[in-house]
């Protein structure tokens, strides 16, 4: 071989070797995934289907049966036992960790040796009538002990005696009407009020404001009977001997009344009872309509307008006091209820997130019940239990969510959302920095008609997407999705052709998470037909209420059987609710990009701003005189709209292979809700801090957004100094505009 | 060729090809970084060196010269011009973006047609003496217009007339002594007070509290003369005709007095002046000691204790009023200063972060000056300018920091930290979620001795590491590091063998970032010798003061020349300060793992807890009687110590190749400072929210941490109801313990 030829051969060899090497190198380079969390979204959705399919009606039935055998009031031995059982079972289901988290909060119980009741007394002080000391116990539960009789938790003690005044629902407008139109002064009287329309604690607050020395609350059949339905146990209406328990605090989100702002730990400083938040200063007591009739039928005074009349066979006279025949008789309340600092227990379970352990998706609901809690809250507890079981099954198959999931069984919700609020206070910094969303799990059913969802606007799209993947639970609807079933029954009417989603109100455990901390939140349950006239009494309550209701609400008749016999015999409705609640946390925890839609938030804000501006327009001259304008708010809403559109466009272009780029945009999505929190709180309510979605102080505007502006407008209508009130309106518009601008800013590119 | 041989040859070929390909593949696979942000830390530190080396004394001299030619009071045309120039030059230096951000805030100016002054009037009302209307203008500046005469910004208007009372420094203890020991009632009097020891706004607040109807403040040579130093221009002492300007607000971090909590934008609601935050209700005026002598030497009444005497040739009699010889003469203040809403401009420049654009490291300092601002703030402005120039050079070489750097030129700091606070309010949500650290850049020099650093404990280690990489600016110290030079001059004494680092106090633009929002913060400057007895007058001020000072502070004599002739002729001290401030932001912005040391925080907390517990132990019986214990606080500190140690151990084991794992731990580091923020604020001070590092309400405890507890303890010593005050102590201990526990919790593994 010649030298040249050899050289050429060598060169050729080197070229080949280099080329092969280079080819290998290039393929190796590109074959390597640029990062491990390049999530396979079809794998995730396969797991979603498995997760939803795993949930079984029979299992939910079992869970509900198991946890409704005994009364388990907050602070009692039995409620601790259920907590321990939940902890044990959640661990068996496969959660990574479950812990009991105790707090020492102010609770309130009747005095066991001195029962509460209300009497009619004659001129000699003899009790000629006494209300019942307990509800008749339903069949099968006769031997159960520790059923707490109906009472108003945190009532003041006392034996006030005096004349009755009937005050309808005890709303602000009822008291205005009483005072201004009927000319009746309530000072020093005992008021009798029917349950409904507003939160009972507000009735008590209103009664105190007008100087009443006691307040009796009763369930009128007009509000707690559905037409054509038998009372329990033959149907699901409230028996005449049944009464609604409940706390009568005005906490405005403070949690434990003695430790506002801080968790009620052993070392925590406690205010004295006098300085406690929201404790009523007058005795309060609830009765059933069987007892109420005895008080009402003797009453004298004016006949009220028709909308003050309930469905009892009495005239609903206003008083004060009884008719001439019974003039010498008075009403006496005998209330011996005690406040006492008591240990409560939350159960907190966790699934550690695989890639972002410091991002939390929370599913929380309370465990404590007034008695058995067949509906409230155990229908929710059963649903959460089944969700945990299903998640555990997935874990055993190798699934692990991208983010951390936290399951919470709250204690003492019935005493003012105490367990959930104390835990939120305890973990405020972590939650503020890390919580993606909070899904609430109180009662899972309150009717037999269709789904009801209340949530923050950014969850709308996820709720729709998810319910399209869930089957309708209605027997006759084979092959129909929950979305279709729901849409058919409750369309959003004028606004849009989609199932109606409502705003989140207040009155359940999401308050501290949503209204105080600004964590995106939602709730879902099965509900009744709002449009049906037979049930209109409930509908009217639904639309604007701080609480939800069904006839046996908070009575001893909330049993396992009422669910099994009437509300959900197949347990498919509860399964559907489990799939919605569970599906929400699954998608929030496992999607690579958070399934939050900020355009929906912008759209909602525009509607809310239009509503409030329209209301203010009722006073065109004054708006001119005091130079009031909503321009800044509308301008902020436009800014938000633009920022949202732009954000979603950038989201489309996101390089999902870059974990930091994904995290940056997810953080913007997560923190959007936080942007609506004003650290200074709403006027006089430091723990209600959500500028858009806190409840208004006035029941008149209970369902409205922008509570600060509504509250100020309310004062205009009811104040002696409209100039000052308009100044407050202007200040609140300015705060709202600033807040919406700030929210828009969080969506712009971060640098 | 035989078939077999060919086959073998083919096989051999295939093996070779496959092997080469495989080799290439493997090398390609491993050659590819598993993620782009696998930072090469030596590259980063090479850039640090380049960044520090680029900063030049001559450049700093030029910057200082350029921006000190004309007076540029906040709200004036000239201060806007400087803002525009800074914007232009920052863009030229290479920042990614620079914007002007305006706010409309309440400022205060003397009335140009009716000057402020103080008179002695005789019985006929004739002015027998008037204080000077302006300071003698320094040489070279005679033709300059718009030099604002000495005044107290936000003084009330008025012409009060009455007897003088000399009240020493106007501290709480001075007024106590006056009232309790000397038996002097100040109600209806005009007080004369010497500058020093506490913030002038607090002197005014104290004077108002005791009922004074006016307050005159003067600079006593005892506090504003260094021994053996000539007055300017022959030295750096304050001439007798010089006086200290300054605002006399009590804002407690509120920012613009008319828009507390919200940015002062065009649409923002403004309170009326009556409802404004912190505005004094009485006239206030500052004078030099040449004028003060005229007032003081006529004074009658008691001779005060020695520690009330300054260095003027007068007896410092207390009054009230003049000696018998001048009994009929009174003092009259003539104050015509106006409050007015005025537009101010921040300049905000940005370098976008390469990997984490949503993490912000901020270097901010003010631009507005009382006159020329030779020291305050332009020595700081020159340093920031040089830092920006150096960063721009690095950018041009291909460097880009991991995180976003924000440079801020604040306006209206002298009027109550207005520009920085409004911007913090405007961007609160972004800052809360994204800000890693804030480095303050006010005056860069106040003495010629050594470095002074005040910062949050988690920055201690970074400050030490960094100063070891910077050269001493002292001519005689060749080859000596700044760390060594500093250590030699100011050792931490008992506590530890390292240069002293102080706590961050208040009174400059870091307030809103550190005390309100809880962003890790620090400041650095060149300072005087605290231990030297010749300068002890300044030392004493230094140690516990809310402000920093040097003789010509806030006078017309703060010129370029005073820096060039006396403070830093070589401009190497300013270069060293630039390297410290700049190096801090460089390391915070560019290190893969945030250079924050949480162990230092835990150690500091232990010391602070011990100090406060010791103070309380002065009342052992009462502590027993009212059941007061610090156990919960110490237990929280132990918890924090453990969590910190554990955190740093986990940090050692961190997989730095995983960008999400790095981000998770960095977020824990970033949010630690946030954990010390109480959203409810300190009692009565909603914008001072840092439980550890807010200033105490009482100057007595100005330098202490845990202000809530100190304030409560102060009340015990001065209250009629010690039981109630001890309750507040207990509550504050509980809040402190909770806060430290919460901080510890943020450091534990996130799930």
Question: Inter-chain contact B735–A664, Cβ cutoff 8 Å?
Answer: no
What distance in Å separates residue B171's CA from the closest CA in chain A? 31
> Does the structure show a pLDDT above 90 at A534?
no
The span from the CA of B239 to the CA of B352, in Å, is 47
For residue A547, what pLDDT is reported? 35
Q: For A719-727, what is the mean pLDDT?
A: 88
User: Does residue B251 contact residue B417 with C-beta atoms inside 8 Å?
Assistant: yes
Q: Which residues on adjacent β-strands are paired with residue A108? A: A339
**To 10 degrees, what angle do helices B707-717 and B722-747 make?**
170
Low-confidence ranges of chain B (pLDDT < 70): 1-3, 24-43, 531-548
A676 DSSP 8-state letter: G
Which residue from B23, B267, B751 is facing A353, i.e. has the nearest CB?
B751
**B717: nearest Cα among B725, B709, B728:** B725
Q: What is the structure's pLDDT at B19?
A: 75
Q: A218 has which bridge partners?
A: A194, A287
CB–CB contact B29 A34 (8 Å): no
Q: Which residue of B has its CA nearest to A350?
A: B751
Minimum distance, in Å, between the CA of residue B205 and any CA atom of chain A: 25
Contact: A430, B737; criterion CB under 8 Å? no
A344-368 average pLDDT score: 98
A32: which chain B residues are within 8 Å (Cβ-Cβ)?
A: 28-29, 32, 34
Q: Fill in the DSSP letter of residue A442.
A: S
pLDDT tens-digit readout, A37-94? 444 455 667 899 999 999 999 999 999 999 999 999 999 999 999 999 999 999 999 9
The three-class DSSP label of residue B570 is coil
Collapsing DSSP states into helix, strand and coil, what is residue A278? Answer: coil
Which residue among the candidates A413, A474, A561, A597 is catalytic per the annotation? A413
Choose the weakest-confidence range: A333-347, A690-704, B382-396, B734-748: A690-704
Do A362 and A434 touch, CB atoms closer than 8 A? no
Q: Is there a contact between A358 and B667 if contact means CB atoms under 8 Å apart?
A: yes
Tell me if residue B698 is catalytic. Answer: no
Place of tokens 């001119």: A624
**What pairing do the DSSP bridges indicate for beta strands B214-218 and B284-287?**
parallel
Closest-CA distance of chain B to residue A629, Å: 10
Sort out which chain B residues have CB atoms less than 8 A from A746's CB and list them: 429-430, 433
Q: Mark B380-389 as b/e (b = at least 16 C-beta within 10 Å).
A: bbbbbbbbbb
Closest to B305 measured CA to CA, from B181, B163, B222 = B181
- B338-351/B97-109 β-pairing: antiparallel
| Chain mean position to CA B117 | 31
Tokens at B517, concatenated: 């929002």
Beta bridge partners of A118: A333
Helices marked H in B617-686 — which ranges? Answer: 620-625, 631-652, 659-672
> What is Dmax (Cα atoms) for chain A?
138
Q: B657, B679, B708, B736: which to substitute to probe chain A, counting the most A Cβ within 10 Å?
A: B679
B12 touches chain A (CB under 8 A): no
Q: What mean pLDDT do residues A93-113 have? A: 98
Q: Is B724 on the interface with A (CB under 8 A)?
A: no
**From the DSSP assignment, how many helices (H) and strands (E) are in chain B?**
23, 17
Instruction: Test B671 with A632 for CB contact under 8 angstroms.
Output: no
Q: Give pLDDT, residue A45.
A: 74
Main-chain phi, psi angles of A673, to 5 degrees = -60, -35
Tokens matching residue B391? 């960063």
> Rounded to whole angstroms, what are the CA distances from A381 to A472, A631, A749?
21, 46, 41
pLDDT of residue B534: 37
Residue A239 CA to residue B584 CA, distance in Å, equals 73
Let me know: does B394 contact A700? Beta carbons within 8 Å: no
Answer for the pair B116, B336: CB distance below 8 angstroms, yes or no: yes
CA A208 from chain centre, in angstroms, equals 26
Residues in A closer than 8 angstroms to B676, CB to CB, are none
Whether A537 has a pLDDT exceeding 80, the answer reads no
Contacts of A101 (CB under 8 A, 6+ apart): A345, A346, A347, A348, A423, A426
Beta bridge partners of A192: A166, A216
Which of A631, A738, A749 is closest, CB to CB, to B263?
A: A738
Of B328, B629, B635, B734, catalytic? B629
A113: which residues sit within 8 A by CB, 6+ positions away? none
Tell me if residue B294 is catalytic: no
Q: Among all chains, which residue has been given the structure tokens 């509503």?
A: A611
Across B522-555, b (16+ Cβ under 10 Å) vs e yields bbbbbbbbbeeeebebbeebbeebbbbbbbbbbb
Q: What element of type H or E holds A229?
A: none
Does the annotation count A413 as an active-site position? yes
When the pLDDT of each residue in chain A is averaged and rounded to a whole number, the result is 94
Partners of B663 on chain A (C-beta within 8 Å) are 660, 663
The label of the residue with tokens 């005040």 reads: B454
- Cβ <8 Å between B735 and A674: no
As a whole number of angstroms, the distance between CA A708 and CA A142 comes to 50
DSSP H/E element including A203: helix A200-209
Residue A493 has pLDDT above 50, yes or no: yes
Secondary structure of A29-67 in HEC code, one letter for each residue: HHHCCCCCCCCCHHHHHHHHHHHHHHCCHHHHHHHHHHC
Mutual orientation of helices A3-31 and B3-31 as an angle, nearest 10°?
50
Count contacts between A and B (CB, < 8 Å).
186
B733 touches A: beta carbon within 8 Å:
yes
Query: CA dist A252 to A440, A680, B327, Å?
Result: 18, 14, 62
Taking a contact as any Cβ pair under 8 Å apart, which residues of chain B between 101 and 140 contact chain A? none
Phi, psi (degrees; rounded to nearest 5) at A316:
60, 35
B440: helix, coil or strand?
A: strand
Query: Is the CB of residue A14 less than 8 Å away from at least one CB of chain B?
Result: no
Distance, in Å, from the CA atom of A395 to the CA atom of A676, rounded to the nearest integer, reads 36
CB contact under 8 Å between A433 and B29, yes or no, is no
Say which of A638, A646, A667, A727 is annotated catalytic: A667
Q: Do A663 and B660 touch (CB under 8 A)?
A: yes
Mean pLDDT of chain B, nearest integer: 94
In what helix (H) or strand (E) does residue A25 lie, and over which residues does it extend?
Answer: helix A3-31
Residue A6 pLDDT grade (very low, low, confident, very high; cuts 50, 70, 90): confident
B627 interface with A at CB cutoff 8 Å: no
Q: What b/e string do you get for B452-487 counting C-beta neighbours within 10 Å, with b at 16 or more?
A: bbbbbbbbbebbbebbebbbbbbeeeeeeebbbbbb
A527-536, A727-736, B349-358: least confident range: A527-536
pLDDT in tens, B346-386: 999 999 999 999 999 999 999 999 999 999 999 999 999 99
Q: Cα angle vertex B142, ends B136, B143, to 5°?
A: 140
Distance in Å, alpha carbon of A268 to nearest chain B alpha carbon? 5
Return the exposure string of A74-105: e unless at least 16 CB atoms fall within 10 Å of the residue's CB, then b: bbbebbbebbeebbebbeebebeebeebbbbb
- How far is Cα A459 from Cα A665, in angstroms, rounded to an integer? 17
Which residues of chain B does A659 touch, with a Cβ-Cβ cutoff of 8 Å?
35, 659-660
Question: Given this model, what pLDDT does residue A30 score?
Answer: 59
Backbone angles phi, psi at B375, to 5 degrees: -100, -60
Q: Which residue has the tokens 């209301």?
A: A615
* pLDDT over threshold 80, residue A32: no
* Residue of B453, B594, B449, B433 lying closest to B519 (CA atoms): B433
User: In residues, how long is chain B?
Assistant: 751
Q: From CA A740, how far away is CA A430, in angstroms rounded?
A: 24
Whether B737 has its CB under 8 Å from any CB of chain A: the answer is yes
DSSP B250-279: --TT--STTSTTS---TT-----GGG-SS-
Tally Cβ neighbours within 10 Å of residue A297.
Answer: 16
Q: Is A428 on the interface with B (CB under 8 A)?
A: yes
Active site residue B667: yes
Selected for mutation to probe chain A from B36, B433, B517, B725 (highest A CB count within 10 Å) is B433
């Amino acid at each position: 071989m010649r030298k040249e030829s050899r050289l050429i051969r060598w060169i050729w060899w080197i070229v080949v070797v280099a080329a092969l090497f280079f080819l290998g190198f290039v393929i190796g380079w590109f074959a390597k995934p640029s990062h491990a969390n390049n999530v396979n979204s079809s794998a995730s959705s396969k797991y979603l289907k498995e997760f939803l399919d795993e949930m079984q009606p029979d299992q939910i039935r079992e869970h509900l049966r198991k946890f409704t055998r005994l009364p388990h009031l907050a602070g009692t031995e039995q409620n601790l036992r259920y907590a321990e059982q939940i902890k044990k079972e959640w661990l068996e289901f496969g959660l990574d960790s479950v812990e009991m988290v105790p707090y020492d909060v102010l609770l309130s119980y009747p005095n066991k040796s001195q029962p509460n009741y209300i009497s009619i007394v004659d001129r000699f002080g003899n009790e000629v009538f006494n209300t019942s000391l307990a509800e008749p116990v339903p069949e099968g539960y006769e031997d159960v002990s520790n059923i707490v009789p109906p009472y108003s938790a945190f009532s003041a003690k006392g034996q006030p005696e005096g004349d009755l005044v009937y005050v309808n629902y005890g709303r602000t407008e009822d008291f205005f009407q009483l005072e201004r139109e009927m000319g009746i002064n309530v000072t020093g009287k005992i008021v009798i009020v029917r349950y409904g329309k507003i939160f009972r604690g507000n009735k008590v607050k209103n009664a105190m404001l007008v100087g009443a020395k006691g307040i009796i609350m009763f369930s009128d059949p007009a509000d707690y009977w559905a037409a054509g339905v038998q009372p329990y146990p033959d149907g699901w209406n409230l028996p005449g001997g049944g009464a609604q328990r409940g706390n009568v605090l005005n906490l405005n989100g403070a949690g434990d009344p003695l430790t506002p702002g801080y968790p009620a730990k052993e070392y925590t400083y406690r205010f004295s009872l006098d300085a406690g938040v929201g404790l009523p200063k007058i005795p309060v007591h609830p009765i059933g309509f069987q007892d109420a009739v005895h008080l009402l039928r003797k009453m004298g005074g004016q006949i009220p307008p028709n909308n003050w009349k309930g469905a009892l066979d009495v005239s609903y006279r206003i008083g004060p006091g009884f008719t001439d025949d019974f003039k010498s008789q008075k009403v006496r309340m005998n209330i011996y209820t005690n406040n006492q600092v008591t240990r409560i227990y939350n159960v907190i379970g966790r699934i550690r997130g695989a890639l972002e352990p410091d991002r939390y998706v929370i599913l929380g609901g309370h465990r404590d019940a007034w008695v058995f809690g067949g509906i409230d809250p155990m229908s929710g507890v059963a649903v959460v239990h089944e969700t945990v079981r299903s998640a555990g099954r997935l874990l055993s198959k190798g699934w692990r969510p991208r983010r951390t999931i936290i399951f919470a069984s709250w204690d003492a919700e019935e005493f003012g959302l105490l367990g959930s609020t104390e835990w939120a206070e305890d973990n405020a910094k972590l939650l503020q920095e890390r919580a993606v969303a909070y899904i609430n799990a109180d009662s899972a059913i309150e009717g037999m008609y269709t789904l009801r969802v209340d949530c923050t606007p950014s969850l709308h799209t996820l709720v729709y997407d998810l319910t399209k993947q869930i089957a309708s639970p209605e027997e006759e609807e084979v092959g129909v999705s929950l979305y279709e079933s729901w849409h058919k029954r409750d369309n959003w009417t004028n606004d849009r052709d989609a199932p109606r989603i409502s705003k989140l109100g207040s009155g359940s455990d999401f308050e501290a998470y949503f209204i105080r901390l600004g964590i995106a939140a939602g709730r879902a349950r099965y509900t009744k037909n709002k449009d049906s006239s037979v049930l209109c009494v409930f509908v009217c309550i639904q639309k604007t209420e701080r609480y939800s209701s069904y006839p046996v609400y908070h009575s001893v008749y909330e049993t396992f059987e009422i669910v099994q016999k009437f509300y959900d015999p197949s347990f498919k409705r509860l399964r559907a609710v489990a799939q919605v609640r569970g599906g929400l946390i699954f998608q929030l925890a496992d999607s690579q990009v958070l399934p939050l839609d900020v355009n929906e938030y912008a759209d909602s804000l525009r509607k809310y701003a239009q509503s409030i501006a329209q209301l203010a327009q009722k006073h065109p001259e004054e708006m001119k005189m005091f130079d009031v304008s909503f321009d800044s708010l509308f301008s902020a809403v436009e800014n938000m709209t633009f920022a949202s559109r732009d954000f979603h466009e950038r989201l489309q272009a996101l390089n999902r292979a870059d974990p930091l780029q994904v995290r940056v945009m997810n953080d913007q999505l997560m923190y959007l809700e936080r942007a609506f929190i004003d650290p200074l709180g709403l006027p006089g309510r430091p723990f209600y801090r959500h500028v858009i979605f806190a409840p208004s102080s006035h029941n008149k505007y209970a369902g409205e957004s922008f509570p600060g502006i509504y509250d100020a407008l309310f004062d205009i209508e009811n104040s002696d100094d409209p100039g000052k009130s308009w100044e407050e309106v202007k200040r609140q518009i300015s705060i709202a505009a600033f807040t919406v601008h700030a929210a828009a800013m969080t969506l712009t590119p971060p640098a």
